[in-house]
């Protein structure tokens, strides 16, 4: 049984109140660890350590020295690749092939990518004449925002945490991370990496626990936190915004989605089906960018439904380490129940279940896992729950459409606005749509293709702010203007 301790001021510490909760392997439902919950005392200590580090060795490092540490962090994550891989797989049950290609390499890259950004970003300068005939020069200086609270979800634990910790440290901040209660492992392990490469104590801290009346709330309401960056559900984001209002702290929020894919009859069908298979089912549909609404131009509707059905049925669930496993479990039995409740709702609302709709038959040793079948529905009106609400599972509804205007109206008719994927060979049409679809990210003939220099974030209830490349600097630094008269 593994103990997941809090990491405060460079040291692993247990819960001072002796409170722990179970870490469960979603593949089989077995308890694999004990997580030490942080109370107010641990959160206070973590924030104080982060504050002290800002004023200590860390605060005195030059950008070049900080970048050397970021580079060392990326190298050390890669050196301990297998440790991170095993930790991530134990927490999430995701297939080895996926975690080894996506989660862990991106965990390292998220430190590397911000080295170039921070070294090469300039600030503006203006020369002017003063009323008394002299000269003044204004220039901008980016200073670290301070102590950043990083509140993370469970779907891509290392990837999404380092996506925030990387730029935060590049900009000279210190962080207190609150990983999801479901996935404590990789954030905890990263503490060892910080110590190994010589990141000063107090720069990176981890507090474990839940949201309300636990580490999440204590951290986000803490008066000595200077900014909060969050990825997770929209409802949680609203609570965090309220917490941030106390003391007027800035927030960066990456939240839910109900992402659409739009498939025109002139698309490259092979590329479209390959991509939809990933966007609907990868990571068991637990990707904020994932597609849960597919709109297909009527002439190829039946063909797309049949092809995606075949792909969904070929997604073999199983042991994450087995070579033929294509899909893992949901993150927890609670999330499995949520997904299955939508499978029931779809049937009640009159859906045609093209495939799936339940729990797959698993071997005895995996029966306790949080398994759900990849599922496709057709035949529902746009008002149906599975078309309007985020499920965060391996499922999609496919509807036919007859015109560009019709599909545009349907895509935009949702409170979320995170991502859309459009499939067509008509680039003029694709660009026209990309400019009218109300989302933060629009892919054309692709999905989850990322250039980490570009802005990432959602519109409407999917988020506030953009992170990635120089856009991260807007949140992780304060831009100060200096004016010199001479």
CA distance 168 to 9: 17
Give the closest residue to 175 by CA, choosing from 201, 154, 153, 197: 201
- CA-nearest of 291, 288, 286 to 275 is 291
Q: Is 254 a catalytic residue?
A: yes
Indicate whether 258 belongs to the interface with ligand NAI (CB under 6 A).
no
Which of 429, 450, 453, 460 is close enough to bind ligand LIKJ72KM by CB under 6 A?
450
CA quadruple 432, 433, 436, 438: dihedral, nearest 10: -150
In terms of Cβ atoms closer than 10 Å to its own Cβ (0-12, 13-18, 19+), residue 63 is: middle
Which of 95, 232, 317, 356 lies at the binding interface for ligand NAI (CB under 6 A)? 232
Q: d(Cα 402, Cα 390) in Å, to the nearest integer?
A: 25
- List the catalytic residue out of 37, 182, 217, 254: 254
Site string for ligand NAI, 427-466 (x = CB under 6 A): -------------------------------x---xx---
Least Cα distance to 73 among 202, 204, 205, 196 occurs for 196
Q: CB atoms < 10 A from the CB of 450, how many? A: 14
Give the residue, chosen from 92, 112, 117, 155, that forms a contact with ligand LIKJ72KM under the rule CB under 6 A.
Answer: 155
Token output for 136: 């003044």
Q: Give the contact letters, 229-268, x = binds to ligand LIKJ72KM (CB under 6 A), - = no.
A: -------------------------x--------------
Could you say which of ligand NAI, ligand LIKJ72KM, none residue 163 binds, taking C-beta under 5 to 8 angstroms by partner kind? ligand LIKJ72KM
- C-beta separation of 271 from 481 below 8 A: no
Proportion of the chain in helix, strand, coil states, percent, rounded to 5: 40, 25, 35
Spatial separation of the C-alpha atoms in residues 268 and 266, rounded to whole Å: 7
Stretch that binds ligand LIKJ72KM, among 157-165, 313-321, 385-393, 475-483 (CB under 6 A): 157-165
Question: Minimum CB separation from ligand LIKJ72KM for residue 331, in Å?
Answer: 12
The owner of tokens 């040291």 is: 11
The terminus-to-terminus CA distance of the chain in angstroms comes to 67
Q: Which is nearer to ligand LIKJ72KM, 277 or 399 (CB)?
A: 277
Asked if residue 211 binds ligand NAI (CB under 6 A), the reply is yes
- Which one of 22-30, 68-76, 215-223, 293-301 is the stretch in contact with ligand NAI (CB under 6 A)? 215-223
- Which listed range, 58-66, 206-214, 272-280, 446-454, lies at the site for ligand NAI (CB under 6 A)? 206-214
Identify which range of 30-38, 112-120, 177-185, 320-328 contacts ligand NAI by CB under 6 A. Answer: 177-185
Q: Which residues are catalytic?
A: 254
């Amino acid at each position: 049984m593994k103990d997941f301790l809090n990491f405060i001021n460079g040291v692993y510490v247990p819960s001072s109140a002796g409170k722990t909760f179970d870490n469960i392997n979603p593949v089989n439902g077995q308890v694999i660890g004990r997580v030490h919950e942080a109370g107010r005392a641990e959160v206070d200590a973590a924030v104080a350590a982060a504050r002290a580090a800002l004023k200590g060795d860390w605060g005195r490092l030059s950008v070049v020295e900080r970048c050397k540490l970021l580079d060392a962090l990326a190298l050390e994550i890669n050196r301990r690749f297998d440790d991170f891989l095993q930790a991530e797989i134990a927490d999430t049950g995701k297939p080895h092939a996926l975690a080894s290609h996506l989660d862990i390499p991106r965990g390292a890259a998220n430190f590397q990518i911000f080295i170039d950004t921070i070294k090469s970003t300039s600030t503006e300068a203006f020369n002017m004449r003063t009323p008394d005939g002299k000269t003044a020069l204004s220039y901008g200086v980016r200073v670290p925002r301070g102590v950043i609270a990083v509140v993370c979800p469970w779907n891509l634990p290392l990837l999404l945490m380092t996506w925030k910790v990387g730029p935060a440290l590049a900009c000279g901040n210190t962080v207190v991370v609150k990983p999801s209660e479901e996935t404590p492992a990789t954030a905890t392990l990263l503490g060892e990496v910080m110590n190994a490469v010589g990141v000063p104590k107090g720069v990176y801290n981890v507090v474990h626990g839940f949201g309300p009346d636990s580490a999440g709330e204590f951290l986000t309401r803490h008066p000595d936190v200077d900014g909060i960056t969050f990825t997770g559900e929209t409802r949680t984001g609203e609570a965090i915004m309220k917490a941030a209002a106390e003391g007027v702290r800035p927030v960066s929020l990456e939240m839910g989605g109900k992402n659409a894919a739009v498939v025109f009859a002139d698309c490259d069908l092979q590329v479209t089906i390959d991509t939809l298979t990933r966007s609907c089912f990868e990571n068991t549909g637990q990707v904020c960018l994932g597609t849960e609404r597919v709109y297909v131009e009527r002439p190829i509707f039946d063909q797309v439904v049949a092809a995606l059905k075949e792909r969904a049925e070929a997604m073999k669930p199983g042991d994450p380490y087995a070579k033929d496993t294509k899909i893992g479990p949901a993150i927890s039995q609670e999330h499995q129940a949520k997904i299955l409740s939508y499978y029931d709702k779809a049937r009640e609302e009159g859906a045609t279940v093209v495939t799936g709709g339940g729990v797959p038959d698993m071997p005895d040793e995996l029966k306790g896992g949080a398994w759900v079948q990849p599922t496709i529905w057709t035949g529902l009106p746009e008002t149906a729950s599975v078309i309007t609400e985020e499920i965060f599972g391996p499922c999609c509804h496919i509807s036919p459409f007859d015109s560009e205007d019709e599909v545009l109206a349907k895509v935009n008719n949702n409170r979320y606005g995170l991502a859309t994927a459009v499939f067509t060979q008509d680039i003029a049409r694709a660009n026209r749509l990309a400019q009218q679809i109300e989302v933060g990210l629009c892919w054309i003939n692709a999905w989850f293709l990322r250039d980490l220099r570009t802005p990432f974030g959602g519109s409407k209830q999917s988020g506030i702010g953009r992170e990635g490349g120089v856009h991260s600097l807007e949140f992780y630094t304060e831009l100060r203007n200096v004016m010199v008269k001479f």
